[in-house]
Structure 1
Amino acid sequence: MSFHGMIDNLYQHWRPADETSTQTLRHLWFDSEHYKVAAADQSSDSTEHFVVTGNELAAGEPWVEERAVAIHVRLDPDARTCHVRKANTLTFGWAGHWLVRRGADPDALARYRPLPPDPYNCGSHGHGTDVQAEGLISASHYWYARPADARTRTIEDRIRRSGDRYEILTQQMAYSEYATDGEHEAHWVLLVDNHPRAAERQYLLQLETVHRSSGHYTLDEGAFPTEKQAHEWADRINPRRVAPLPATDPATGLPAAPKRPAVQAASAAFQPPSTTTRFTR
């Protein structure tokens, strides 16, 4: 069943369990065709559904924090009621984090749905062949973007599984596609990392860049000792050339371990006499 079909079925045949569910379901029903599913999971008895979507209505800077949407539906078949909640997030990774904390399988949410062959419904225009967009028509079309590489997927997987390790301090657009002739768009999230090993560099900045021509996004991050230094780095982001971030391990998100000098061999300047040495007067 499509996302639109699921929401329409809920709206027509299930009773919202509370006022929040009523408002959330009504909103989703009116705009369901604008939500593009990126990944999903459901319980074995199909009474719980976890959906990560992109929001077509969120293109552009004013709605930057609604680019990704996490939706959780819990059904009570006996009472024929539905409990519906959603959260607007900046990225798919953080939408997944919200859902995993509500019971979703992080492995399921890591399996992104492939893009349809004609995502923009261009059609054949009577020429007998489908017209397909190469990459994205616009870099702001985040709902069609997918992770570009292993590093991006590794960082996202850690985000989904991170529980209460991180606290989001700030999140905003780094630059829009208008700064790069439509080729790129980037956003950043500044976190406090509560991991004990991050104490000396606990301000973690994640930069996600959407690449229009390939239809993918990349995710990078770096750790700073102070919030001020992290903001200073973000303020200097140049869409033509982004400075490298301080190194972190993509699997753990922790600063790179300091290099320790190799153990040096003892100096040969002095050698104690052997037991067979004979002394003469």
Structure 2
Amino acid sequence: MSALNDYDFPNLKPADAESAGIQLRLQAAEEVLGFLDAQYGDPDEYLLFEDRVGYLDSDMAIHAFHIRYDHDAGTIRLRTAAQPTIALGMAWLVEHGASVSYFVQHGEDQSTPADAKSAAIARRIIASPGRYDIVDHGVELSESWALLRDSDPRAADRPYLLHIEHIRDEGGFTLREGSFGSPQEAQAWLEVRDRSLPAALAADTVVQVSAAASAARSRSTSAPTVRATSGVLPEPVRVSAVPAAGGPHR
């Protein structure tokens, strides 16, 4: 399924150079990106896609897009980010004003948590902007993983959270997680996998939406309409600002 065929934006022009570039990439990738989910509203739309062939020249599989319509000015503003997992892509959309509850509802399609445990983990990841930094990530055919540094003081003893996402053939995705004391310990577990993931520290599921996300949602004039490689980086990248980049990832 693709939601891109409606995004020629007749009678609207990009609000800035960044929006113009993103629009061109959307149009060029119409037949390539795999549609995952969307939340539609006015003046905002939130879109989530998977790029299985690296068409957008990124080493991250998930691409999130935020579209803001300004009909009075006759413009559209587009922003995008690449993320290693569906849950992190949803977190970026929520930080830009999307609804937490929509993206963690149960369902049978590829973009929804497949079980209660996955839904609880996803809710915490999605609704905690600024809490996690991406330290490392990798993508296989059915598995994506991200090593996150948790800034919660309760996770200080083992601050590196390994976040593993599997997309199921029968629909939905599962999430599992475990805490480690260092990136090296997490990578050693990934290579061998001879024991269960250690319990995740500070793994509560209290929803805390940032002030920025609340402000973004308050700018909407109506409620959104719901429609059903690795190697540790020298410096972590803030989850809220992972850019769409470039290079096949699969």
Shift of 1:19: 0.7
User: Residues 40 and 108 of structure 1 are in contact (CA less than 8 Å); yes or no, is this contact kept in structure 2?
Assistant: no
Any idea what SS the aligned residue of 2:92 has?
Answer: helix
Runs of at least 5 residues in structure 2 that lack an aligned partner in the other structure = 206-250
Deviations, residues 79-116 of structure 1 (Å, cap 9, x unaligned): 1010011111111111111111111111122247755x
User: Residues 168 and 191 of structure 1 are in contact (CA less than 8 Å); yes or no, is this contact kept in structure 2?
Assistant: yes
1:106 aligns with 2:68: no
Partners of 1:145 and 1:79 in 2: CA distance: 34
What is aligned with 1:48? 44
User: Residues 158 and 201 of structure 2 are in contact (CA less than 8 Å); yes or no, is this contact kept in structure 1?
Assistant: no
Partners of 1:102 and 1:162 in 2: CA distance: 12
Pick the aligned partner of 1:223 from 156, 162, 179. Answer: 179
State the identity as a percent.
30
What is aligned with 2:121? 155
Paired AA for residue 6 in structure 2: M
Shift of 1:5: 3.6
TM superposition score normalised by structure 2:
0.72
Partners of 1:145 and 1:99 in 2: CA distance: 13
User: Residues 33 and 49 of structure 2 are in contact (CA less than 8 Å); yes or no, is this contact kept in structure 1?
Assistant: yes
Moved more, 148-157 or 203-212: 203-212
Q: Judging changes above 3 Å, is the alpha-carbon distance between structure 1 residues 98 and 145 closer, same or farther for their aligned structure 2 residues?
A: closer
Shift of 1:163: 1.2
The residue correspondences of 1:92-103 to structure 2 (distance < 5 A) are 92-103=86-97
Shift of 1:6: 2.9
Paired AA for residue 4 in structure 2: H
What is aligned with 1:256? none
Any idea what SS the aligned residue of 2:157 has?
Answer: helix
1:252 aligns with 2:204: yes
Q: Judging changes above 3 Å, is the alpha-carbon distance between structure 1 residues 114 and 215 closer, same or farther for their aligned structure 2 residues?
A: closer
Pick the aligned partner of 1:25 from 15, 23, 26. Answer: 23
Structure scoring higher RCO (CA < 8 A, sep ≥ 6) equals 2
TM superposition score normalised by structure 1:
0.65
Q: Judging changes above 3 Å, is the alpha-carbon distance between structure 1 residues 200 and 56 closer, same or farther for their aligned structure 2 residues?
A: closer
What is aligned with 1:34? 32
Root mean square deviation of aligned Cα: 2.6
Runs of at least 5 residues in structure 1 that lack an aligned partner in the other structure = 116-143, 178-184, 254-281
Partners of 2:52 and 2:136 in 1: CA distance: 23
Shift of 1:63: 5.2
User: Residues 40 and 109 of structure 1 are in contact (CA less than 8 Å); yes or no, is this contact kept in structure 2?
Assistant: no
Moved more, 224-233 or 30-39: 30-39
1:6 aligns with 2:2: no
Structure whose alpha-carbon radius of gyration is higher? 1
Deviations, residues 42-97 of structure 1 (Å, cap 9, x unaligned): 44xx11111122234349xx9551x2111100111111010011111111111111
Deviations, residues 131-181 of structure 1 (Å, cap 9, x unaligned): xxxxxxxxxxxxx464321111111111110111111100013xx45xxxx
Partners of 1:226 and 1:91 in 2: CA distance: 21
Any idea what SS the aligned residue of 2:73 has?
Answer: coil
Shift of 1:210: 2.9
The residue correspondences of 1:157-172 to structure 2 (distance < 5 A) are 157-172=123-138
Partners of 1:69 and 1:158 in 2: CA distance: 20
Any idea what SS the aligned residue of 1:32 has?
Answer: coil
Deviations, residues 187-239 of structure 1 (Å, cap 9, x unaligned): 21111100011111111111122343x344321100012222122212224xx
Shift of 1:251: 5.1
Any idea what SS the aligned residue of 1:33 has?
Answer: coil
Partners of 2:129 and 2:171 in 1: CA distance: 29
